Amino acid sequence: PRMTPRIPRFLAGLVLIAASLPAAVPRGETVLVGSARIDITPELPIRLSGYGSRTTETDRIETRLHARALAIGSDAQQPAVLIAVELIGVGEETSEAVAAALRAKHGLERARVAVCATHVHSGPALSDVLPYMFSQDLPPDQVARIARYTTWLRTKLVEVAGQALANRKPARLAWSEGRTDFAAQRRVIVDGKWKNFGVTPGGSVDHALPVLRATDERGAVQAVFTSYACHCTTLDGRDNV
């Protein structure tokens, strides 16, 4: 598997969760913030998700994949937890399983947990994400490996969230919004119908670049979450790693 260079698109969900924390955090005061990272690289071989033209499992790892978690708030405040995974997507079954485990282990309400993906096109397939991508039934042994990875992944996401909760320390949160302009509308529409992928001059594009930053009490950066709406894939289906 290889991570497709891409700016994650999960800040909006984080801001919504963080906004639900108690509003009475005056300027200059701190809130508990913790972060963590965990390796989610699969055992091989396994099918990758992202391109339907791939016809075989991958048998080579070029770059390891990770999941990251950010926890904001004290136990008394009911902390908010965001988990971001370097995969093409996260299915509802996986999200609900992770949220249920976090409720059982840490007492987190469902509304306090978000599981997001950076939309990597060179990560392993999951049982509950894009099962129709391959346009055919996969051999039973391949299905079994995908299912085994999906189950294992859920345990890792619960683990990284628990690490972020355990790592919470006083921090200051700051939010701002910048702008960058390298994204483009990649769908070419002719006579009101999708024609092909390309660049549509003047097409609808969101160039906003929101950023949330957490710094510790000494001012050192503890975590940064950012979002930019750009489907920045650099590989194609011929790259099966």
Residues of the chain with pLDDT under 70: 1-28, 232
Tokens encoding 46: 């396994």
**240 close to 49: Cβ distance less than 8 angstroms:** no
Cis (ω within 30 of 0) for the bond into 45? yes
Q: Which tokens go with 133? A: 């991508």
Cβ(236)–Cβ(57) below 8 Å: no
pLDDT tens readout for residues 82-120: 999 999 999 999 999 999 999 999 999 999 999 999 999
pLDDT at 20: 42
pTM: 0.85
Beta strands in the chain (DSSP E): 31-39, 48-49, 66-72, 80-85, 113-117, 123-124, 169-179, 187-190, 193-197, 208-216, 221-226
The confidence score (pLDDT) of residue 28 equals 65
